[in-house]
Structure 1
């Protein structure tokens, strides 16, 4: 097609303009019938070696008189694959997957030279990524060893692994970050390699070195590549030298505030102050006012946070892009000089500078821009002699259409499944191949790009409370049924591979809508305070972006969680937002569309309240069994008529529902919301399960999931949620939570027993006390920071509600506290200034 040819020409011109090393430019394919690899500079020109652009599945795309076509290329030539006699996917490389630049081709192995997989690997991680690695290892016949902390003893990854070893208590510093313990488990178990997952030790160069000293393979890049890309300032200097565009800024070592301010003036305000180490938005401040006072305030704040988080307060100064997008390219490199791009992802929509939804490919990019991004990302990987899976992140300026290098993540990314969905490739399997010393499984020209994929990260957090993380037990977890059986049709190591010819190229473009779920927790699991609050990743794949978004919205409607607050409802609102649908993405998307993404909580309809009351009535009634005792019990306790008045609360709204049975299985229900009363007659229904209600209200038949959450044991604490139970209703794609208040006598008793303190500051969640900033007798002002807590990598500052004097301090630095625990008691100042 013309698009295919245009894209082909664009990449060729981009690559030839950038490339200057003839040794790396030469083609790495085998000469036909000979052993040595061709390293002649004469073969590096795209047009000379490959001729005009052709579709990747045509074997004639490579001149048969000069080059041989490897078995891997032939496997890719067939667009449909049957594994174990079942067709699992249909894939055709799109016009955007026709990169044919010789220096991008990976080295082709000698016949029979492929090295075997490891026999056993250790996974130095937890949660969904550990489960993800185990799944691929199991498929390849590789045994797995899990490590876990005390609180993860019953976790899913521990159950799935062939072996599991406890490496310490819950805090990461005492378990998942203990290199010595992990290496010791490798020795004891016989693991030959370590897969670090992401987070924890995945980008720790010392860990890579220590493993090498112990004769254990690190399934990741060389230590030097981690070091080079771990420093934002050093990496940008390397990228500039490699011809990769960087944001205008200062990346040097001189940190004098006056000097940095002068650099900021030269760059031009607004500017971004950013810590050179770490990530996750820590150590970042934006300064818009071009004054030294404003600059110094932002600088001091960024340096303090950076020093605390990363042990280094060095910062860099960059031009602040007003409407940026976050676009990243997945790259892969082997030890033989092969580097490929697996296309790009868009991760622009973020909260607290952290991603929550990703998609591939990035929307709205031209063929020329996509080619340029891939070429620059490959240049970045080559500049540091990269090996393995890496992600080159770029800032894309929506106003100018230009992009700039931001950083390189030297590991597998959380969002890698969207790339797997649009390419049909198993990136974990590729990691294992490269770590074993084998060439990349595919050449660039054979990597497809089909359809569109989204990933939504399901977090235990409260979006309406500044996305504050939550913890607790997953009392109820119901997820959409996965329709995607992950396979790797392009892998030459897959057994029982059968190529299926197809009569029509149109048929090859078919993409089956797919839903994929990556999770490391099941119902009943505990979401603790020590680790990241991500519960799962929901991934969908459609023929185009419109279909993929529709699949995502539907899948989110079917994802039900009770026990912790989650961002599921927020993600569903986001996926249905008109600006998001229209591809108007940027990193400031949430703040820009805040009112649309956080609409006023809708008051439940009378019909929904009637449904909920029906659920309670059916639940309250004795089981209908053939036992003669059941009717006696029913008459004794309930008589022939069931009657109950239920008070529901939602925020500040109180609703009353009166239920009265009229005949067997039918009820009259009166709903009163404020001064408005609604009557429903002959309401009927049945409980299909403990949580599934089938009901008929006003002649409308519907199905809903209703989950009752009992209160915690004991008396309700002062300042806590004073309810006997919460009822969660999942209906019509929405979740509604209603509270049933505790009886007044119980609330009165709890106040008497616990002694409510008006000035008491309580832990909003299970937390680690990072810093207590007051002592008994101190005078505090309204809004003054009193205690700093940390939960799930997020700090929360508790502040005084009013001016007063500290009466009591009930916690200390480094202590773990439960939700609702009184930490500091402040006695309010009386009029006149004394407490």
Structure 2
């Protein structure tokens, strides 16, 4: 691969995990020096080990490290970097960060800051699409005022239930809630805003009509600074749980030729209209039966699923990003783009699908990746590394190519059979089962198939992921009990240390139903023991104050771990004696959150 010359010689990668590794390797191929940044918990991470240089930017919480613009720019200055590649997630769609990079005299490997701002604002992006004649799903023309619940309710009534509360900034499915009726709207607006603020630093949300059984199809685009704009085909990302993608493939199956062409044309119109530069993705919700499609958003960055497009086009998207940022023209035109075969990707996350996709951070004692001429594995860890509780649970991706969709699908099934992870449960065995279903093989699935049709089969559960029974409280052991907790991603079950309850008469009651609307049980307190954090987490909200009367089932605090919100509720009535935590505090599993008297 031809080396990049000036003005870029050194690239700081403002991210972590497998995407940081991916960018660092592309820099190496292009003859560029790479600079890694890391939090304290990532000091020995793979991306740090691979980079030419590395700089500490803060403690473990992302807000105090990877989302700290000043710290990242200080590292760029100290390293002598010429450019900053944001990866995906983190600061990648933060227009303020892009502007700060440009103001510091550095090259931002992405679109101009004003384009990031315009398309990162989902409401403004809808207006762009409408102006281009691209259909959008019915929704609000502006962000919601959390204090104006009657106005939001009236808007939702006009759209028709159910509706989707969506973060107005950011992406990746964060800050989204489906609301079935007016009773759940206030909680959904608050929760989506909190999650959006934690993930993107912006809490604004808006409403859209919920579409029944759509497909999620996106179009990859590239644009240089010399007026060339091309698309690299489409991808299907319909296998999702709670708006988070699990399996992606290119090209999207089952689209009529005229519908595929219309999607490509719409994506190019949106891209050209905003003066785009770099790699981007225009996302749509598609109703194949009717041929309708609706603009969803434009992600002004690289996508997690970019690898499937690379496999069917032979075009290195990261290299293209870097070359465009260096001022080079695209070396091909639309007529040169050829799609060869089919590619499918499975996201491997440290989660247990048989416990509602419960995040399961921890050390990975062994990681054996599958190999083969048609396979690709992207990972941010090696054997002996750990999946950190402070960040996203995804740590690897396994991709397979085939001359047709069925061959690619079968090759990926075989690859997931070969994948070996010791130390944490993963999504791999569940996704292997999804790939083998008749509906996926036929391409008749939609964005609701995981929740509606593909419940994890207990017979497929690996023995290693089965929950260990709680150990009895004996001398020298720490008593534990398993509790179900209500989260924004459904109920999960965790082992909580130091909370074993006595058996027999006088035992504390079981967890009561949550009032969160999820139908899950909440983390609960026990008589004589204060409510505690069920896992390592960060406090995002405290719902009580000293002296407050607490009723059964009332929320005491909201925690966040691995991009999941957890409500901690009381199962007894009493008075809050002391609040032991504040928003922003990191808490370890088992740490008391409040003290109260009954």
* Counterparts of residues 82-481 of structure 1 (less than 5 Å): 118-252=8-142, 257-289=149-181, 314-481=204-371
Q: 1:177 to 1:300 in 2, by over 3 A?
A: closer
Q: Mark the CA change 1:380 to 1:548 in structure 2 (over 3 Å): closer, same or farther.
A: same
Relative to the length of structure 2, the TM-score reads: 0.83
Per-residue CA shift, 1:697-724, capped at 9, x if unaligned?
xxxxxxxxxxxxxxxxx94321158xxx
What secondary structure sits across from 1:564 in the alignment? coil
1:208-245 CA distances to partner (integer Å, 9 max, x unpaired)? 22222222111110111101101111111111111222
Does 2:545 correspond to 1:545?
no
* Residue 758 to residue 598, structure 1, CA distance change in 2 (3 Å): farther
* Residue 719 of structure 1, aligned match among 480, 486, 497: 480
In the TM superposition, residue 515 of structure 1 has moved relative to its aligned partner by 1.1
8 Å contact kept, 1:430–1:441: no
Q: Distance in 2 between matches of 1:297 and 1:820?
A: 27
Give secondary structure in 1 for the equivalent of 2:558. Answer: strand
Cα offset for 1:207? 2.1
Structure 1 distance, partners of 2:417, 2:176, is 35
1:792 paired to 2:545: no
For the pair shown, the structure with the greater C-alpha radius of gyration is 1
1:525 CA drift (Å)? 1.0
How many Å separate the matches in 2 of 1:294 and 1:767? Answer: 25
* Shift, 1:519, TM fit: 0.5
1:599 pairs with 457, 461, 466, which one? 457
Mapped to 1, the partners of 2:144 and 2:79 lie a distance apart of 48
| Structure 1 residue 797, shift from structure 2 partner | 1.5
Q: Cα–Cα, structure 1 residues 810 and 462, in superposed 2: closer, same or farther, change >3 Å? A: farther
Name the CA distance, whole Å, in 2 between partners of 1:411 and 1:203: 7
**Structure 2 match to 1:7:** none
Could you say what the CA RMSD is over the residues aligned between the two structures, in angstroms? 3.4
Partner of 2:520: none
Contact 1:395 1:405 in 2 (8 A): yes
1:770 aligns with 2:520: no
Tell me how far apart the structure 2 counterparts of residues 259 and 762 of structure 1 sit (CA, whole Å).
37
Report the alpha carbon displacement of residue 435 of structure 1 after superposing the two structures with TM: 0.9
Q: Distance in 1 between matches of 2:254 and 2:296?
A: 20
Q: 1:718 to 1:821 in 2, by over 3 A?
A: farther
Change (3 A) 1:184 1:772: closer
1:453–1:275 distance in 2 versus 1, CA, 3 Å? same
Q: Structure 1, residues 413-450: CA drift from partner, whole Å, max 9, x if none?
A: 11100100111111111111111111112111111111
Give the match for residue 108 of structure 1. none
Give, in whole Å, the separation in 2 of the partners of 1:770 and 1:262: 29
Is the deviation greater in 234-243 or in 337-346?
Answer: 234-243
Over 3 Å counting, the alpha-carbon distance change for 1:275 and 1:197 in structure 2 is: closer
**Closer/same/farther in 2, CA of residues 547 and 411 from structure 1, 3 Å limit:** same
3-state SS in 1 of match to 2:302: coil
Distance in 2 (CA, whole Å) between partners of 1:457 and 1:805 is 45
Deviation at 1:757, TM superposition (A): 7.2
Q: Judging changes above 3 Å, is the alpha-carbon distance between structure 1 residues 523 and 801 closer, same or farther for their aligned structure 2 residues?
A: farther
Once residues 199 and 220 of structure 1 are traced to their aligned partners in structure 2, the CA distance between those partners, rounded to angstroms, is: 13
Q: 1:574 to 1:138 in 2, by over 3 A?
A: same
> CA 1:584–1:782 in 2, change beyond 3 Å: closer, same or farther?
farther
Q: Using the alignment, how far apart are the partners of 1:132 and 1:521 within structure 2?
A: 12
Counterpart-to-counterpart distance in 2, 1:528 and 1:436: 34
1:585, distance to aligned residue in structure 2 (A)? 2.0
2:436 pairs, out of 565, 571, 576, with: 576
How far 1:260 sits from its partner (Å)? 4.7
SS at match of 1:337: coil
Distance 1:161 1:297 in 2: 43
C-alpha contact 1:327 1:393 (8 A) present in aligned 2: yes
Q: Which runs of 5+ in 2 are unaligned?
A: 483-525
Q: Quote the Cα distance in structure 2 between the aligned partners of 1:559 and 1:428.
A: 26
Q: Distance between the aligned counterparts of 1:176 and 1:343, measured in 2?
A: 32
> What does residue range 500-511 of structure 1 map to in structure 2 within 5 Å?
none
Q: What is the distance in 1 between the residues matched to 2:43 and 2:353?
A: 30
Q: Is the 8 A contact 2:348 2:427 kept in 1?
A: yes
CA distance in 2, matches of 1:327, 1:531: 27
CA contact (8 A) 1:800 1:826 kept: no
**Offset at 1:805?**
6.4
CA–CA distance in 2 between the matches of 1:359 and 1:209?
Answer: 33
How far apart are residue 277 of structure 1 and its match?
A: 2.2
Structure 1: runs of 5 or more not aligned? 1-82, 85-113, 485-513, 613-648, 654-713, 722-755, 828-834
Paired residues for 1:519-558 under 5 Å: 519-558=379-418
Aligned counterparts, 1:803-818, within 5 A: 803=573, 813-818=583-588
Task: Give 3-state SS (helix, strand or coil) of 2:118's partner.
Answer: helix
8 Å CA contact 1:807–1:825 kept in 2: the answer is yes
